[in-house]
Structure 1
Amino acid sequence: MDAFLNIDRAAYRFPWIERFLASKALELVKDGRILHRNLRREFLTEVELMRKVRESGIADLSQIQAAYMEGDGTISVIKRGS
């Protein structure tokens, strides 16, 4: 656990370390359509994705402009018109 704390401290002090270590967000849904290749890349099922979408208060994919798997493993959902 101490190793992660040291990495976090270094990344805070030296932003280039964070840019080097941080993963980019991966788009999972675009304009209401699931990007299945990206789901497979993250070992995420459609059922798991839909659970996260519902947790965001969205019932239907057509309401989504985009959804991303963030570098920390969370899923961010952007509604249409937001």
Structure 2
Amino acid sequence: MGRRYHLSKAVSKDQTNEILKELTERGDVKTASISDDGRYLHVDTIDGEFSVVMYSAVNICSRIANCELSFEGFDYTA
């Protein structure tokens, strides 16, 4: 089961690609995607531990797109 996070602002396609590239390079991320409208990040981890992954995700999103993340809910489709 993954988790869904709301981005504080919509990210561009280039920002989406860069964010996802950095996230998926991590060894503990099973899947990561950003919605077509650029407003939601969907993440699932290999071991079910999200704290370290999301710490990185917050920093990556802040650095690349100058946006913040907030927990939206559980993603049963990830």
Give TM class, smaller chain.
Answer: 0.3 to 0.5
Q: How does the TM-score come out when normalised to structure 2?
A: 0.32
Bigger helix fraction: 1
Q: Report the TM-score, using the length of structure 1 for normalisation.
A: 0.31
Structure number with the higher strand fraction is 2
- Which of the pair has the greater relative contact order for Cα pairs under 8 Å at 6+ separation? 2
Larger Rg: 1
